[in-house]
Structure 1
Amino acid sequence: MSGLETPLRCRAQEPAPGAAVRTVGRFEVLVDGAAVPTPEWRSRKARDLLRILISRRGRAVPRERLTDLLWGDEEEPARLAHWLSVALSTVRAVLDPRRLAPADHFVLADQASLALDVTHLTVDLETFLTGAAYGLRLREHGDPEAARTVLATTEQRYTGDFLADEPYGDWAGPAREEARAAYLHVVRELAELARHAGRVDEAARYLLRLLHHDAYDERAHLDLVRLLSAAGRHGEARRAQGTAPRGTRLPGQRFRRRGRARRLGCRGRGRGPDGAGGAVGDRAAAQGLGAGPDRGKAGVDGVDGMPVPASSAVTVAVSAFEAALLMP
């Protein structure tokens, strides 16, 4: 609907005084700094209409699409069109109760579509996304201190998912995922900035926030363990390692397994842990790599018919046992 899109781009970038909407976390409308009481809405559908328009971020929404989202398609089109007009009037009255601005100051409308004028209404979602984009650009352009200031302020504005009190509205999904992705990007960049500046506690705090929002973020687990290990905080690194989901590849895992394999292999005699028999130990014993009266002699039968010096017998047994430990 180009008739609505052009004014949205051309109007001055100054939000209208006195009206603001909170959507990051919970939904709330404020007029002159005071929250609008629920009874003033007179209809939940009017509130839902404003939420849908906010989720579209200034893009026009066809009237038929709005009526379908709000009431379904089982009613007569004329009745649905009337209900939408009533909901639109309610939204305008709530945002501008004293009728100080033109009717289309906050919500643009024509016969085909409706659109929120995000240049006239302060919406925290828009403020958050704008701040995130600006801070990330500063980071890309090589101004880490300015980027840290902007990104830290932006990160604090994210108090929850977009319209968290409307979890089942499919129409809110795209905006919710966009805001969430921007937040995770901001936090990751803040962690990197802190790490490069040597602020270990700050970097760890941001990495933990990433894991709070996504416990399966393998990169965040890796970065946290590496950060703590590099700082010499090995106990914390081990605890962080223990919180990683099963299957996460973390620093030191292969080293620990190999060390354990060597300790077990050095016990020799082709046995597994604590002297217990096992497939690897049995194979090693059958091949003369640590069991029987010939151990210690050079030129034992070896593996696959090839002679193996006695000095290599334990090494081969350990390698086989280690391979078994590292098998998925």
Structure 2
Amino acid sequence: MHETDELSRAELPLMRITTLGEFALERLVPGDQGDPPRYVRVARSEWGNRGPAMTLLKVLLCRAQRRALRSELIEAIWPDHEAINAAHALDSATSVLRRHILRAGDSGVMLLTLRSGGETALKLPGQHRLWVDADAFLSQVSGAMRVEHRGQSPIPLLEDALALARGEFLEDDLYAEWAQGRRHTVNGARHRALFKLVDLYLEDGQVSLAEEWLFAALEENPTDEDALCRLMTMLARQGRRREALQLYLYTEDVLQEEQAEPAAYTRDVARRIRQGLALSEQGARYAAAGGRAPSSLGGGGPPDWGSGIGEERSRMASLRAGRAVPPYQYRSLRHRPQRRFGVSTGWTLGCS
């Protein structure tokens, strides 16, 4: 039994890290009384007050092959390092990260020191020992593209990939320069995967599933104008112009709170929908068959929203004031309250 347990542990990553949404660490621990090993979340109290060590970990996760030179790490973590003993600070952070946060017991070192040509670098292990959700997501997206190239359906892989990509990459470090490159890579792959999945659903006539994923994207980020324009167009072509305009007005209000406004293209789409220009008016209902919808979606039907743009604007004002519906749930995104779209089979705009 002991040998079986050790074999199971050897086949699993020693740690798992969540970087999309709330940052979290998990360690692999032996099972109880012959049970298989399991992952246990590391309490924030163990790492929350170890700022330099955690920044070191995150910087390495953002680098190619999870590797960086000491000089690069010092420049990223302590850009004003002339005022401190940066070499000593890095040594201290490395020790804390290795001994307390990434401790692996008898399973080997989880933070390697590499020396070559007079340069010293630090490196984290790969996915087989240190699993990271963002890297798993990017791998799934690449795998989906390869599957499609072989003539197979990439839909299951795209669905699995997008299920991983819930939340902003390293949301506690939105303005850190060292995180921007990796964040752009993750966000770009997320958009490619989303719109590829939407296109595939539409090719198969599964319009409802395409809508659900676009609604989920707007729930995550209501200022995603690419998803907004795509969804508005789909709704308008089904004769659901009022619903499309409600989405636009909601996003417009969120942007106004950030002292911004919708892009010219988004405004033009809304104008055309409002005036009934260059958009087919189809009242047909679409039924979804096969595929998977985002797991966060709920049920329910559409309420009577009244008629006219003025009433829609009044409804949006009531939603913003929190009078017509239960209070908004908030979520960290760009360091501002994140309002959530309520998604239902009736495709209504609400709050949860």
**What TM-score does the superposition give when structure 1 sets the normalisation length?**
0.62
For residues 186 and 194 of structure 2, the distance between their equivalents in structure 1, rounded to whole angstroms, comes to 12
Distance 2:228 2:183 in 1: 24
Residue 28 of structure 1 corresponds to: 24
Which one of the candidate residues 230, 240, 244 is aligned to 2:244? 240
The 5-angstrom pairing of residues 115-126 of structure 1 reads 115-119=123-127, 120-126=129-135
Aligned residue pairs: how many? 237
Alignment of 1:1-328 (within 5 A): 17-32=13-28, 33-41=39-47, 43-71=50-78, 72-75=80-83, 79-97=85-103, 99-103=105-109, 105-110=110-115, 111-119=119-127, 120-144=129-153, 147-212=154-219, 213=221, 215=223, 217=225, 220-221=227-228, 223-230=230-237, 233-234=238-239, 236-241=240-245, 243-244=247-248, 245=262, 247=264, 248=266, 249-250=268-269, 253=272, 256=275
Task: Report the CA distance between 1:173 and its aligned residue.
Answer: 0.8
Distance 1:251 1:164 in 2: 31
In structure 2, distance between residues paired with 1:208 and 1:166: 26
Larger radius of gyration: 1
Paired amino acid for 1:253:
R
Unmatched tracts of structure 1, length 5 or more: 1-13, 260-328
Structure 2: gaps of 5 or more residues: 1-9, 29-38, 249-261, 279-352
The amino acid that maps onto 1:118 is G
Q: Is the 8 A contact 1:108 1:117 kept in 2?
A: no
- Looking at structure 1, the residues matched to 277 and 18 of structure 2 have their Cα atoms a distance apart, in angstroms, of 54
Deviations 1:268-324 (A, max 9, x none): xxxxxxxxxxxxxxxxxxxxxxxxxxxxxxxxxxxxxxxxxxxxxxxxxxxxxxxxx
Q: Deviations over 1:10-67 (max 9, x none)?
A: xxxx976331111111222111222223443462111111011011142432212222
Q: Quick one: distance in 2 between partners of 1:198 and 1:92? A: 52
Cα gap change, 1:223/1:21 in structure 2, threshold over 3 Å: closer, same or farther? closer
Computed over aligned residues only, the root mean square deviation of the Cα atoms, in angstroms, reads 3.1
Counterpart of 1:22 in structure 2: which amino acid? T
The letter for the 1-side match of 2:21 is G
CA distance in 1, matches of 2:187, 2:132: 16
Report the Cα distance in structure 2 between the residues aligned to 1:197 and 1:66, rounded to whole angstroms. Answer: 48
The structure with more helix, counted as a fraction of residues: 1
